[in-house]
Chain A
Amino acid sequence: MPDVDIQVRVNGTLRRDTVPPRLTLADYLRERCQLTGTHLGCEHGVCGACTVLLDGQAVRACLVFAVQADGAQVTTIEGIASPDGELSPVQAAFRDHHGLQCGFCTPGFVISVTAFLRDHPDPTDEQIREGLSGNLCRCTGYQGILKAVRAAADGTSAMEETG
């Protein structure tokens, strides 16, 4: 199949590319855009490590082809903090509540939670657990992540740090 021309706005910047139809959005972002914060943990749609926002919706970039993003806006983990490096409330809450260890699953969680809290600004604990159940983490036992999402939802992310 011949390559396809696409136009995608990635983290606010418009890009034009010519891509093979079978190139996944995840590989497009990682290899063509050099945005390697989008991680691949399974490539079959279960772990959530590759989650990005496609026109605002959280999607698994391993299950979407780059050509399907033609004309769309994509936000990756690199587009979540403010340009001066200040962490978003969700990112800050993960930091404050030990919501990450190896950090491999983290970009997917941050993106999923960002979309989840936008859609559920006042979630119950049950809704949070449900909302997180599409992302796998092997390091944290989800304890710090659950706390972080609660704190981000409540708008409290005071540093626990001493010193």
Chain B
Amino acid sequence: MDRTRGPVDPVRAAAARYAGARVARVEDPRLLTGHGTFVDDVVRPGMLHACFVRSPLARARITGIDVSEALAVEGVHAVFTAEDLNPGVHEPWYSLAGRDVPDSPRPPLAEDEVRFVGDPVALVVAADRYLAEDAAELVVVDYEPLPPVVDYVTARESAELVFPQFARNVLGELGGRPTTELAPVFDQAPWSVRETVYQQAYAPVPIETRGLVAEWSAAGGELTIWAATQSPHEVRLFCSRLLGLPEHRIRVVMRDTGGGFGQKAVVQREDMCVMLAALKVPAALKWIEDRRENLLAAGQSRHEHGDVRMAFDADGRILAASIDYVQDVGAYPVPWPVGPSMAVGMFFPGPYRVPEGTFSITSVFSNTVGRTAYRGPWQFESVARELMLDVAARRMGMDPVELRRRNLLRRDELPYTNPVGVPYGDISPLETFEQALGMLDYEAFRKEQERARGEGRFLGVGTCTYVEPTTAGMGVHGTEGATIRIEPSGKVNVYVSGGSTGNSLETTVVQLTADALGVDIADVHTIQGDTAITPFGGGTGGSRSGSMTAGAVAETAAVLRERIAAIAAHRLEAAAEDIELVDGHARVRGVPGAGLSLAEIAAIAYLQPESLPPGMPAGLEASGRYRAESMIILANATHLCTCEVDVTTGRVTLLRYIVSEDCGPMINPSVVEGQIAGGTVQGIGGALYEHLAYDADGNPVTGTFMDYLLPTAAEVPIIEYGHVETPGPGPGGYKGVGEGGAIGAPPAVINAVADALAPFGVHITRLPLTPESIVTLVRRARESRAAEPGTVPR
């Protein structure tokens, strides 16, 4: 630990009572009884409602907009177009990306050209949402259709450009050493495999759509925003830059957000429109996205492919691995997607011993909805690598488990630097792998699979082992603050940026604070998600909330512990070093009965300042800001699943699903498992069901939950959890755990299906694995191998 930033804390709280326990969530009572406060629950006096007019075409020139009919509707206050709102934009840049990145344009409303179906063209403001929707229908937009660039795969060769200033439709390119340098290794290796793997577009799809309420008080020069967001402080900071308003005149409030998963990490174009429009209307302005809009315009993720190569020696040891990766960024990616995509290349070698490797990354525009962050945005590294390992194992006639055993990093090899320069430490990939296999009884499954094949039933097993960057310690994510107030009665309030988005951050903070101060959990309350009250925070994202907030609470509580001990020592005539905090009391170690309750100490601090030790500040309140001790905290896990594939209907039934995870010590096992489960089922959805699809003209074809298929309780397997615990380099040894499930699940599921279909020689390189695609794969495999009778099951 870095000891240079302050003295070692001498006052210890008693052993943790709450960290590590399945503490019941403090968020639950309000949420279970319908008393949460989500953004659509906010009502303000005279509040107006907004509805967007959106482009019905993938690409077109706007030749005219007639708002007169809409404006004539009773109850309609305004109809804004680009010329009304866009000039109000000052400096719209995201804190995570920074001001100077070569970002792509992001006009709030479309100016002269629309670039995807759903592109916002006008904003109608009316007395209620029904009227706003009626009036939106009456806005007449004249379009001159242009040929759209629908397919990002061919976009670089297209004569059409999504933005004229981006040649070949390329937003950015990154890379390591040239792939050609590795060509001799691939060419001369005993085994060399190469495939192009395609992943379909899917999306975060929180059950609460996006939305915000913005209220401008012209007299006071103050803007208040209620938002569905993962990051209230980023909303404030962005809004301040966007509008050129001073940051301290903006207040952003979020109590409950109905899931974000990346989609609500930063301000999007519609949010900008509402912020801009709020300055022009006489009352609060509310926009609540409907589901159609959410599937049309809130962003796509995962749409990408990679040309993947792996070389092995005769014993199956990896010699080299490379990926040439291309991602679809749509028309208006949010935020800048180029920098973050680097992680695909950096983690492609995964937790394996890979002597040589490289990557290239290309971000390509298309006339479809913009790319947004989604839980493990770099997840394709695992999809590509783990699919490839199974492909290679089949080709070498080796069990895929055996292939991985030979290549997974062992603990005694750490620290280790992967071939593209990423340092690994504090991880346990071989341990999670073996634990998962043990939980399954891998050998027994292989026998069962053999028997089932004899009966014409096709079972499969797949795994994915990955190493995951969490808790990035840089830039806006590099610090987190906490304020703790021990109130005059001795009760405790703790303030962090946070906010409830489903990640149980209120419970986490209450647990950690109760432990840090040695008080009962019922005596701690937390206030979050209000920029007027809490310290600045980097928001929920990058699996950082648990570990960073733990640092913030620890740093702040240490200051208070010292003050409590000093007050108690003074009153009890003991030495401060002999004071310990336990059960809500400051006691003299080894002297039973001698002690003061926190209530008594707080009373001295606030109500009897004359009784304080000399020089001691009055009150019991402290603010601290934790600065991350490392650039990154690595977590790792193995996902393992078994399935049965019905080759007639193409239906995949998941049989067992095991996740062995190393997220360091757990603050709350229920919360950890809940995060793993949620991510895993999103990943299962991505592998088998979800597809944000477009037709050849760029029209979205999945605009409702009838077409965009989320997993339901009827399909999900029971998830079994295994834990391996390797403390990370931060406070408490905690690591992030929010994203991993969504990374590990798709490869495990795909490999299981591929394994089930191995007797057919089926080759899986395109996702998702819908029943239709599986039936087609099996049929094709049968046809192409019909010439070799006896090799394919009938």
Question: How many Å from the CB of A25 to the closest CB on chain B?
Answer: 14
* A103 near B256: Cβ-Cβ < 8 Å: yes
A37 to B54, CA, bound (A): 30
A96 to B256, CA, bound (A): 20
Q: Which 8 A-B pairs have the closest CB atoms?
A: A37-B34, A104-B258, A103-B31, A102-B502, A141-B681, A141-B677, A77-B34, A46-B705
> Can you list, as one digit per residue, whether each of A35-60 has a CB less than 8 Å from chain B (1) or not (0)?
11111111110110100000000000
5 residue pairs bridging A and B, Cβ less than 8 Å apart: A76-B34, A78-B33, A100-B32, A159-B24, A161-B23
Interface residues of B in 12-49 (CB under 8 A from A): 17-18, 21-25, 27-36, 38, 40-41, 43
* A163 near B23: Cβ-Cβ < 8 Å: yes
A110 to B31, CA, bound (A): 11
Within 8 Å CB of A30, what residues of B?
Answer: 40-41
* A138 near B206: Cβ-Cβ < 8 Å: yes
> Can you list, as one digit per residue, whether each of A82-103 has a CB less than 8 Å from chain B (1) or not (0)?
0001010001001110101111
In the complex with contacts A95-B32, A98-B673, A100-B31, A161-B22 CB distance below 8 A:
yes
* B710 near A161: Cβ-Cβ < 8 Å: no
Indicate if B160 sits at the interface (CB-CB under 8 A).
no
* B714 near A133: Cβ-Cβ < 8 Å: yes
Indicate if A80 sits at the interface (CB-CB under 8 A).
yes
Indicate if B121 sits at the interface (CB-CB under 8 A).
no
Within 8 Å CB of B679, what residues of A?
Answer: 141
A86 to B718, CA, bound (A): 30
Contact of B714 among A46, A94, A132 (CB under 8 A): A132
A23 to B129, CA, bound (A): 11
Segment touching B, from A2-10, A63-71, A142-150: A142-150
A128 to B670, CA, bound (A): 22
Question: How many Å from the CB of A147 to the closest CB on chain B?
Answer: 9
Contact of B677 among A135, A140, A163 (CB under 8 A): A140
List 17 additional contacts besides A78-B33, A104-B36; criterion CB under 8 Å. A41-B208, A42-B704, A47-B291, A81-B32, A95-B28, A95-B29, A100-B25, A102-B207, A102-B500, A104-B208, A133-B712, A136-B705, A138-B204, A138-B207, A143-B673, A162-B22, A163-B23
A81 to B17, CA, bound (A): 30
* B714 near A130: Cβ-Cβ < 8 Å: yes
Indicate if B442 sits at the interface (CB-CB under 8 A).
no
Indicate if A14 sits at the interface (CB-CB under 8 A).
no
Residues of B within 8 A of A (CB): 17-18, 21-25, 27-36, 38, 40-41, 43, 130, 204-209, 256-259, 261, 290-291, 500-504, 521, 670-671, 673-674, 677-682, 704-706, 710-714, 716, 718-719, 741
* B291 near A42: Cβ-Cβ < 8 Å: yes
Within 8 Å CB of A136, what residues of B?
Answer: 207, 705, 710, 712
Contact of A103 among B291, B502, B671 (CB under 8 A): B502
Question: How many Å from the CB of B622 to the closest CB on chain A?
Answer: 25
In the complex with contacts A104-B259, A143-B718, A110-B32 CB distance below 8 A:
yes
Contact of A138 among B23, B43, B130, B682 (CB under 8 A): B682
* A140 near B33: Cβ-Cβ < 8 Å: no
In the complex with contacts A39-B208, A102-B256, A138-B207, A46-B40 CB distance below 8 A:
no
Within 8 Å CB of A101, what residues of B?
Answer: 259, 502-504, 674, 678
Within 8 Å CB of B714, what residues of A?
Answer: 129-130, 132-133
Indicate if A22 sits at the interface (CB-CB under 8 A).
yes
A72 to B692, CA, bound (A): 40
Indicate if A137 sits at the interface (CB-CB under 8 A).
yes
* B35 near A37: Cβ-Cβ < 8 Å: yes
* B713 near A132: Cβ-Cβ < 8 Å: yes
* A81 near B33: Cβ-Cβ < 8 Å: yes
Select the residue from A34, A77, A130 with max chain B CB neighbours within 10 A. Answer: A77
A80 to B710, CA, bound (A): 28
Give how many A-B residue pairs fall within 8 Å (CB-CB).
200
Within 8 Å CB of A134, what residues of B?
Answer: 712
Question: How many Å from the CB of A66 to the closest CB on chain B?
Answer: 12
Within 8 Å CB of B290, what residues of A?
Answer: 43
A23 to B133, CA, bound (A): 13
Question: How many Å from the CB of A44 to the closest CB on chain B?
Answer: 5
Indicate if A105 sits at the interface (CB-CB under 8 A).
yes
* A98 near B25: Cβ-Cβ < 8 Å: yes
Within 8 Å CB of B712, what residues of A?
Answer: 132-136, 142
Question: How many Å from the CB of B149 to the closest CB on chain A?
Answer: 30
Question: Interface size on A (CB < 8 Å)?
Answer: 62
Contact of A44 among B38, B673, B706 (CB under 8 A): B706
Within 8 Å CB of B21, what residues of A?
Answer: 161-163
Within 8 Å CB of B36, what residues of A?
Answer: 37, 103-104
A41 to B21, CA, bound (A): 33
Select the residue from A101, A145, A160 with max chain B CB neighbours within 10 A. Answer: A101
CB nearest to B261 among chain A residues = A138
Contact of B24 among A38, A105, A161 (CB under 8 A): A161
* A47 near B207: Cβ-Cβ < 8 Å: yes
* A143 near B31: Cβ-Cβ < 8 Å: no
A105 to B682, CA, bound (A): 16
* A138 near B713: Cβ-Cβ < 8 Å: no
* A36 near B28: Cβ-Cβ < 8 Å: no
A159 to B32, CA, bound (A): 16
Question: How many Å from the CB of B753 to the closest CB on chain A?
Answer: 19
Question: How many Å from the CB of A111 to the closest CB on chain B?
Answer: 10
CB nearest to B713 among chain A residues = A132
Question: How many Å from the CB of A65 to the closest CB on chain B?
Answer: 12
Within 8 Å CB of A142, what residues of B?
Answer: 677, 681, 711-713, 716
Question: How many Å from the CB of A161 to the closest CB on chain B?
Answer: 5
CB nearest to A94 among chain B residues = B32
CB nearest to A142 among chain B residues = B713
Within 8 Å CB of A146, what residues of B?
Answer: 713, 718
Within 8 Å CB of A159, what residues of B?
Answer: 24
* A96 near B719: Cβ-Cβ < 8 Å: no
* A94 near B28: Cβ-Cβ < 8 Å: yes
Within 8 Å CB of A102, what residues of B?
Answer: 31, 206-208, 256-259, 500-502
A36 to B310, CA, bound (A): 54
Within 8 Å CB of B719, what residues of A?
Answer: 141, 143
Within 8 Å CB of B17, what residues of A?
Answer: 163
* A44 near B674: Cβ-Cβ < 8 Å: no
CB nearest to A128 among chain B residues = B713
Within 8 Å CB of B35, what residues of A?
Answer: 37, 78
A96 to B28, CA, bound (A): 10
A153 to B682, CA, bound (A): 27
In the complex with contacts A42-B291, A42-B704, A100-B33 CB distance below 8 A:
no
* B38 near A39: Cβ-Cβ < 8 Å: yes
CB nearest to B511 among chain A residues = A163
* A36 near B704: Cβ-Cβ < 8 Å: no
A136 to B716, CA, bound (A): 12
* B33 near A37: Cβ-Cβ < 8 Å: yes
A159 to B705, CA, bound (A): 35
Within 8 Å CB of A133, what residues of B?
Answer: 712-714
Question: How many Å from the CB of A33 to the closest CB on chain B?
Answer: 11
Question: How many Å from the CB of A3 to the closest CB on chain B?
Answer: 13
A47 to B292, CA, bound (A): 13
A104 to B256, CA, bound (A): 9
Within 8 Å CB of B18, what residues of A?
Answer: 163
CB nearest to A81 among chain B residues = B33
* A43 near B677: Cβ-Cβ < 8 Å: no
